Amino acid sequence: MPTMPLDLLQGTLDLLILKTLAWGPAHGYAIARWIQQLTGQVLTVGEGSLYPALHRLEERGAITAEWRLTEHNRRAKFYTLTSKGRQQLRAETATWTQFVDAMAKVLRATEQPA
C-alpha cells in the first residue's frame, strides 16, 4: 500500500497535530512518528510540512513550545496544546466527522437519488 503525503488536504495536518498533542506534550519527531503509527503507515508526515505547520500553530496560539529534556536526556523542543488549541481541535473534529460522514453516505449509496 503506497503512502500518501499528508498535505493534500488543507488543514488535515493541523488537525492531526492537535489531536496528537491532546495526549500530552511532544516534540516534532514524536508527533511525526505517532501519526505514522496510528495511521498504520498510510499517512506519512514530511518534515517539510510538519515544522512550518508547528510554527504556524504556535504563532496562532494553538500550541506553545518549551525546551525540555527527553527520556534519553536530550534537549528537545516540546509542544503543548493550549486551551485555544483544544477549542480548535474540538471544532475541527466535528467538522471533519461531518465531512467524512457525508462523503461515506455518497460513496456507499447504491441507488441514484430521485
Q: How far is the CB of 29 from other proteins (least distance, A)?
A: 4
Query: 11 in helix, strand or coil?
Result: coil
Residue of 28, 76, 71, 20 lying closest to 49 (CA atoms): 28
For 83, the grid coordinates are 486551551
Q: How far is the CB of 36 from other proteins (least distance, A)?
A: 12
Write the DSSP assignment of the chain as a string of letters: ---EEGGGSTTHHHHHHHHHHTTS-EEHHHHHHHHHHHTTTSEE--HHHHHHHHHHHHHHTSEEEEEEE-TTS-EEEEEEE-HHHHHHHHHHHHHHHHHHHHHHHHHH--S---
Binds other proteins (CB under 8 A): choice among 36, 55, 80, 86:
55
Does the footprint of other proteins cover residue 27 (CB under 8 A)? Answer: yes
Does the footprint of other proteins cover residue 99 (CB under 8 A)? Answer: no
Q: How far is the CB of 85 from other proteins (least distance, A)?
A: 15
Binds other proteins (CB under 8 A): choice among 58, 80, 82, 86:
58
Does the footprint of other proteins cover residue 15 (CB under 8 A)? Answer: no
* Total residues binding other proteins (CB under 8 A): 19
Does the footprint of other proteins cover residue 84 (CB under 8 A)? Answer: no
Segment interacting with other proteins, rule: CB under 8 A, options 9-17, 24-32, 89-97, 98-106: 24-32
